[in-house]
Structure formats: C-alpha cells, structure tokens
Amino acid sequence: MAVSAFRDGAVQPVGLALPIAPSFLPPASLLAVLPVSPLPGPAAARDPEGAARVATAVGSRPTGDGLAARVRWLAAPSGAAWLAQALAHPDLVLLDHAHCERKAAGAALQLMFRYPGDGELAAVLSPLAREELEHFERVQALLAHRGIPLRPLAAPPYGAALTALVRRSEPDRMLDSFLVAGLIEARSHERMALLAVHSPDPELRELYGDLLTSEARHFGLYWLLCERRFPRERVAARLVELAAAEAQLLNGLHREARMHS
Ligand SMILES: [Fe+2]
Ligand SMILES: [Fe+2]
C-alpha cells in the first residue's frame, strides 16, 4: 500500500496562500468538450500512470508522488489519514458512496426546482441527475451482491457545513450553490481516484475507476454553469474562498469512515 507516499497534514490550514489561481482553473475550452470527450477508462485508473492520465485529462494534475490526483478546484489534497481509514472500512465507504450518489442527484434536482425557468440549467442538470442515479443503482447492486443492506448512515458534517456557506440572497446564492456542488464533485473525484489506485479489492478498483471520470465531468459542468452567468474573476474569487473552507472542513478526520470524512 502506498499510503506512506502521502504527506501527513497535506491539507493546508486556511490563511495560507491557496494553490488556486485563475490560471489553475479549468479552461473553458477544455470543459466545453468534457461531456463528450472520450476519457480513459478503468484500466487507466488501476495503475499509477493511468491514474495520472485520468487526472490530467479531466483538469487535474498529479502530485509529486505520481499516485494521487490533484484536482484543480481543491485547495488541498486529501491526506493519508483519510485514505487509511477508507481502506480499513471498504464496506462502510461503499454504503456511504451509495448515499452520496443519491444526494448528488437530489442536489441537481433541487437546483432545477429552485430555478424552474432556466432552460440551460435544466438541460445540464437533468442528465447529470440521471447519471448520478445510475451510479447509485450500480453501487446499490454491488452492495446487494456483497450482502450489505442499504441502511441509513449518519452523515459527516461536511455537506451541511458546506451548504451553510451558501449565501442567501440572489444571485450570490446561485453562484455559491454551483460552486459548492462542484467542490463536492471534485472531492469525490479525487477520492475515487485514490481508491481506484490503492484499494486492494479489484472490484472496488474497477467501480471507482469507472465512476471517477463522471464526477470530473460533473464538476466541469458546474464550472460551466458559473462561467455562463457570472464574470470569471468573480467566480474564481469565490471559489478560492469556498475551496479553502472545504479543505478546512476535512482537516479533522471524522470518526467514522465516509467518502467525505
Ligand atoms: Fe456520481
Ligand atoms: Fe457526480
């Protein structure tokens, strides 16, 4: 296991200069083609070089050890402690993953209901929600195959704490909602990339390798929704703030293994 390749305390404290600058943000030209781009499949994610190729293709960059995806939206990479916890509790993470997929579909639907007159938003988020439900069904099928019943799980504070950062007045509310959704997608993508490389279970490596490309496309779509509605500088500035908060939330590992613990 290559956990030792990760630096302890890799998550940087808020207040330091963030590694997100406008030049690091996904170029619109790349994101515009993401929904139809042929991305590397699970085979690429099962080896370190393949993972790096996946990361590069979706707007990430490999970290120095070449094993982990460094996602450009994120202010700090996941640390070794999370990976060790997740690898020690694969069934729990898989169950939580099912809930995450369902929540991601729900978040997209919620935005469609909140802005019912926005046709472009619906055109982007309706297929995204459908795809998240397909992911949920795939994870649910694997859970059933393994004899793990679908049951409620106490959520870590991550999602609710991020949602609490969404400003209440429009249009800030819309911008923050897109960015928070995108950050969750980005973190999911990063962590699935880690599991796709480091899990000792071939079935799980294949699952995460298959799904991580979709999550990367999803955070690209949320970025596009932002960029079509707000000045790029404003989006980038708010992303820096929210990304710092997102990294800070993951600074203390949640006591139970979760996708976002
Ligand atoms: Fe998904
Ligand atoms: Fe997603």
pLDDT 10s digits, 85-143: 999 999 999 999 999 999 999 999 999 999 999 999 999 999 999 999 999 999 999 99
pTM: 0.77
- Give whole-number Cα distances, 46 to 50, 113, 143, 204, 245, in Å: 7, 38, 21, 10, 31
Neighbours of ion ligand 2 (CB under 5 A): 104, 185, 215, 218
Residues 6+ apart with CB under 8 A from 112: 121, 122, 125, 126, 129
Reported confidence tier of residue 70, pLDDT bands at 50, 70, 90: low
Ligand 2 mean position to 100 CA, how many Å?
9
Delimit the domains of the chain by residue range: 50-249
Q: Give the tokens for residue 9.
A: 């305390």
Ligand 1 mean position to 14 CA, how many Å?
28
CATH, domain 50-249, list 1.20.1260.10, 3.50.50.60, 1.10.10.10, 3.40.50.20: 1.20.1260.10
Side-chain half-sphere exposure of 229, counting CA atoms within 13 A: 19
Ligand 2 mean position to 187 CA, how many Å?
10
Asked if residue 185 lies in contact with residue 222, where contact means CB atoms within 8 angstroms, the answer is yes
Ligand of minimum distance to the alpha carbon of 138: 1
Closest CA to 7 of 88, 50, 67, 93: 67
Kindly give the pairing relationship between strand 69-71 and strand 60-62: antiparallel
Asked if residue 87 lies in contact with residue 4, where contact means CB atoms within 8 angstroms, the answer is no
Instruction: Give the 3-state secondary structure of residue 188.
Output: helix
Reported confidence tier of residue 28, pLDDT bands at 50, 70, 90: very low
